[in-house]
């Protein structure tokens, strides 16, 4: 299996994030995650690890607002030129509500306009890393469009919380959405998100579209991040009505309950009969994930892979979350093995 991976992710290494209550903790979405996955992939006899080609900015501008991408591109330089006291990380302390917010020109004003929370920390190499990550997804999409059964985009930073014009939850550019949108010019696409958290950014991006079916299975946002999207009542709008599905799950969901939700999602995908499948493959559904409350085991992750693989669709697998670094390599290999 072709695996697209770029070392450029190392340029994005925030030192901390802010948890609930203001607790400053080491950044969970760290480069070590990739090292663990690479080590496990290199121990297999099927992973062909490749450097991605650069697709340029056009496929990104078709998913994200240009103003937002410009903000990602210039914010670090502007931050260094500002009079902030601690310049280790660009993080605002004021956030814009999406009612009718004005867009200020000041850097911290724009940061609060374009960020949803205190975990999408911007540092010197964030933009470059986010572009390389999106290119991994685009290369995997191209491999699948060219006939591969499946390809894996080992993306870091992840993408599914990033919307058209905002960064959130460790995500800056929505890699899976960029791949799905690129593929949608060649045929219909189903995008299934199995990360523990609702793929709110992906939901926003495709909400009014009927050519990309989006389904997200995740912890109920009534108690879990991202809180403001991911409810079962959200089903798309306009032409996209009926082409989005949220499947919120309770705390403690085990293999059996997870797999029964997955079967419901697979029925919808079969009915839609897409030309391509894109997976937002977060591993934070794992029972011992530090951010998760869902209790899927490594064997469960393998079974999820096999059930999805049985759809027999050309599949782009995009790395999202997963923060138990000790288990991450084994969980990813277990999942990908199903697509061999």
Q: Which of residues 232-291 bind ligand SP5 (CB under 6 A)?
A: 282, 284, 291
What is the smallest separation between the CB atom of 291 and Zn ion, expressed in angstroms? Answer: 7
- Residue 12 bears catalytic tag: no
Q: Does 195 bind Zn ion (CB under 5 A)?
A: yes
- Tell me the CA distances in angstroms from 69 to 66, 139, 324, one per residue in order: 5, 20, 30
- Between 92 and 109, name the residue whose CB sits nearer to ligand SP5: 92
What is the smallest separation between the CB atom of 310 and Zn ion, expressed in angstroms? Answer: 24
Q: Does 14 bind ligand SP5 (CB under 6 A)?
A: no
One residue of 204, 220, 320, 334 binding ligand SP5 per CB under 6 A: 320
Q: Which of residues 273-312 bind Zn ion (CB under 5 A)?
A: 282, 284
Interface characters, 56-85, with ligand SP5 (x: CB under 6 A)? ------------------------------
Stretch that binds ligand SP5, among 87-95, 130-138, 168-176, 329-337 (CB under 6 A): 168-176
Residue 294 binding: pick among ligand SP5, Zn ion, none (C-beta 5-8 Å cut-off by kind): none
What is the smallest separation between the CB atom of 120 and Zn ion, expressed in angstroms? Answer: 13
Catalytic residue among 12, 64, 160, 161: 161
What is the smallest separation between the CB atom of 19 and ligand SP5, expressed in angstroms? Answer: 5
One residue of 197, 218, 245, 330 binding ligand SP5 per CB under 6 A: 197
Interface characters, 310-339, with Zn ion (x: CB under 5 A)? -----------x------------------
Stretch that binds ligand SP5, among 87-95, 127-135, 167-175, 231-239 (CB under 6 A): 167-175
Q: Could you give the count of Cα atoms lying within 13 Å of 324 in the half-sphere of its Cβ?
A: 21
- Tell me the CA distances in angstroms from 240 to 174, 243, 244, one per residue in order: 19, 5, 7
Q: Does 197 bind Zn ion (CB under 5 A)?
A: yes
* Secondary structure, 3-state, the chain: CEEECCHHHHHCCCCEEECHHHCEEECCCCCHHHHHHHHHHHCCCCCEEECCCCCCCHHHHCCCCHHHHHHHHHHHHHHHHCCCCCCCCECCCCCCCCCCCCCCCCHHHHHHHHECCCCCCECCCHHHHHHHHHHHHHHHHHHHHCCCCEEEECCCCCCCCCECCEEECCECCCHHHHHHHHHCCCCCEEEEECCCCCCHHHHHHHCCCCCEEEEEEEECCCCCCCCCCCCCCCCCCHHHCCCEEEEEECCCCEHHHHHHHHHHHHHHHHHHCCCEEEEEECCCCECCCCCCCCEECHHHHHHHHHHHHCCCCCEEEEECCCCCHHHHHHHHHHHHHCCC
Q: Does 9 bind ligand SP5 (CB under 6 A)?
A: no
Q: Does 207 bind ligand SP5 (CB under 6 A)?
A: no
Binding residues for ligand SP5, per CB under 6 A?
19-20, 119, 158, 161, 169-171, 195, 197, 225, 282, 284, 291, 320-321
Catalytic residues: 161
């Amino acid at each position: 299996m072709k695996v697209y991976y770029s070392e450029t992710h190392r340029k994005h290494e925030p030192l901390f994030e802010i948890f609930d209550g203001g607790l400053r903790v080491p950044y969970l979405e760290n480069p070590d995650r990739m090292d663990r996955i690479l080590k496990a992939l290199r121990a297999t006899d099927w992973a062909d690890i490749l450097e991605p080609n650069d697709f340029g900015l056009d496929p990104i501008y078709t998913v994200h607002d240009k103003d937002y991408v410009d903000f990602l591109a210039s914010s670090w330089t502007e931050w260094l030129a500002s009079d902030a006291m601690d310049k280790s990380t660009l993080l605002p302390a004021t956030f814009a509500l999406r009612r009718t917010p004005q867009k200020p020109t000041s850097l911290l004003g724009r940061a609060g306009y374009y960020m949803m929370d205190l975990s999408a920390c911007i540092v010197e190499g964030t933009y470059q890393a986010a572009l390389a990550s999106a290119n991994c997804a685009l290369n995997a999409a191209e491999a699948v469009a060219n006939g591969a059964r499946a390809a894996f985009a080992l993306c870091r930073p992840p993408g599914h919380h990033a919307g058209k014009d905002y960064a959130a939850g460790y995500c800056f550019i929505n890699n899976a959405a960029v791949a799905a949108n690129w593929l949608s010019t060649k045929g219909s696409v189903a995008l299934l998100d199995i990360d523990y958290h609702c793929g709110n950014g992906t939901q926003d991006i495709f909400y009014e579209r009927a050519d990309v079916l989006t389904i997200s299975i995740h912890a109920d946002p009534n108690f879990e991040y991202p809180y403001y999207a991911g409810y079962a009542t959200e089903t798309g709008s306009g032409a996209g009505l009926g082409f989005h599905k949220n499947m919120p799950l309770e705390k403690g969901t085990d293999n059996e309950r997870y797999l029964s939700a997955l079967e419901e999602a697979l029925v919808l995908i079969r009915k839609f009969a897409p030309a391509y499948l894109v997976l937002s493959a977060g591993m934070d559904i794992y029972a011992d994930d530090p951010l998760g409350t869902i209790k899927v085991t490594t064997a469960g992750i393998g079974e999820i892979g096999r059930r999805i693989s049985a759809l027999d669709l050309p599949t782009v697998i995009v790395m999202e979350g997963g923060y138990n670094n000790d288990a991450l390599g084994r969980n990813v290999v277990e999942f990908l093995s199903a697509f061999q």
